[in-house]
């Protein structure tokens, strides 16, 4: 999914309303991902077209609502919209990167954030194991699925309330754990702030914690880990 940066190129295209990073794929393995909110559909169309022309990898728009997505897809063919994840995708990558990501939720209410992780990770070529509703309030559910989770190279823990799932997984698995606090929970959950603080102060050493409801960020953290695995494998190949 990498590309060569053309010599002498500016590395971006100025559309007037956006300076599109056309070299993101060459630097980081996937093209720039478009954040949907705050952009008019015609602006999204222009950015997507530019990215499709400048790169060979998958092009994604995140956090886009169904109405705007329909307008964009009508103007740019061959895309698909995942309504639960609010993600538009063109030219998804084959799942052949050799990295498996387990996306694990504490509860059903964490599903929309997990859907974003799954949609983005799948589109950029990561193999996804999807494990839902195994929160610590009934920890036997998690223990029953642990053998499957342990086959993953990266584990993404998606949890609201007090965010305990991330600490538990961080203590049980050897793989890197990316923790995603969600804005689910009653009053003192503070729209995800309690889970965020709990995850950042976890006694399970080495957790990576992303922003509240940051499914996209978690998928991209998994992407960076996968890229590091690939680089190491390339160095070790005779």
For residue 238, pLDDT beyond 60: yes
Residue 113 and residue 180 in contact, taking contact as beta carbons nearer than 8 Å: yes
Kindly report the CA angle at 85 between 81 and 88, in degrees rounded to 5? 30
What are the tens digits of pLDDT across the range 2-26?
Answer: 455 554 578 999 999 999 999 999 9
Mean pLDDT of 118-130: 97
The pLDDT value recorded for residue 4 is 53
For residue 90, pLDDT beyond 70: yes
Mean pLDDT of 117-135: 97
Mean pLDDT of 171-185: 97
Domain boundaries, the chain: 12-90, 100-229
The pLDDT value recorded for residue 6 is 54
Phi then psi for 36, rounded to 5 degrees? Answer: -70, -45
Q: Please give the Cα distance from 234 to 127 (Å, whole number).
A: 20
Phi then psi for 35, rounded to 5 degrees? Answer: -90, 120
The pLDDT value recorded for residue 35 is 98
Q: Please give the Cα distance from 6 to 11 (Å, whole number).
A: 8
Question: Three-class SS string for the chain?
Answer: CCCCCCCCCCCEEECCCCEEECCHHHHHCCCCCEECCCCCHHHHHHHHHHHHHHCCCCEEEECCCHHHHHHHHHHCCCEEEECCCCEEEECCCCCCCCCEEEEEECCHHHHHHHHHHHHHHHHCCCEEEEECCCCHHHCHHHHHHHHHHCCCCEEEEEECCCCHHHHHHHHHCCCCEEEEECCCCCHHHHHHHHHHHHHHCCCCCCCEECCCCCHHHHHHHHHHHHHHHHHHHHHHCC
Q: Which CATH number fits domain 100-229: 3.30.70.890, 3.20.20.10, 3.40.50.1970, 3.40.50.720?
A: 3.40.50.1970
What is the CA 209 to chain-centroid distance, rounded?
13
User: pLDDT tier at 205 (50, 70, 90 boundaries)?
Assistant: very high
User: pLDDT tier at 232 (50, 70, 90 boundaries)?
Assistant: confident
What are the tens digits of pLDDT across the range 33-88?
Answer: 999 999 999 999 999 999 999 999 999 999 999 999 999 999 999 999 999 999 99
For residue 191, pLDDT beyond 70: yes
pTM of the model: 0.92
The pLDDT value recorded for residue 171 is 97
The pLDDT value recorded for residue 37 is 97
Q: Please give the Cα distance from 63 to 85 (Å, whole number).
A: 8
Q: Please give the Cα distance from 225 to 221 (Å, whole number).
A: 6
Q: Which residues, in sequence order, are CB contacts of 148 under 8 Å at separation 6+?
A: 102, 129, 131
Phi then psi for 60, rounded to 5 degrees? Answer: -130, 150
């Amino acid at each position: 999914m990498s590309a060569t940066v053309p010599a002498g190129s500016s590395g971006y295209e100025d559309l007037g309303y956006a300076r599109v990073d056309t070299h993101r794929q060459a630097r980081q393995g996937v093209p720039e991902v478009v954040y949907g909110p705050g952009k008019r559909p015609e602006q999204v169309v222009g950015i997507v077209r530019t990215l499709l022309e400048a790169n060979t990898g998958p092009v994604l728009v995140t956090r886009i609502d169904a109405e705007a997505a329909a307008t964009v897809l009508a103007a740019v063919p061959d895309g698909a919209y995942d309504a639960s994840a609010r993600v538009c995708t063109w030219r998804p990558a084959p799942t052949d990167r050799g990295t498996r990501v387990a996306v694990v939720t504490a509860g059903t209410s964490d599903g929309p954030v997990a859907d974003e992780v799954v949609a983005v990770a799948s589109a950029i070529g990561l193999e996804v194991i999807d494990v839902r509703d195994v929160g610590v309030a009934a920890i036997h559910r998690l223990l029953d699925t642990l053998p499957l989770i342990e086959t993953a190279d990266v584990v993404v823990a998606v949890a609201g309330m007090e965010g305990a799932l991330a600490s538990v997984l961080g203590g049980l698995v050897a793989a890197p754990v990316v923790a995603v606090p969600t804005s689910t929970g009653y009053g003192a959950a503070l729209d995800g702030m309690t889970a965020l603080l709990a995850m950042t102060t976890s006694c399970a050493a080495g957790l990576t914690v992303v922003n509240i409801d940051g499914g996209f960020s978690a998928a991209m953290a998994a992407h960076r880990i996968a890229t590091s695995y690939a680089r190491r494998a390339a160095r070790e190949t005779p």
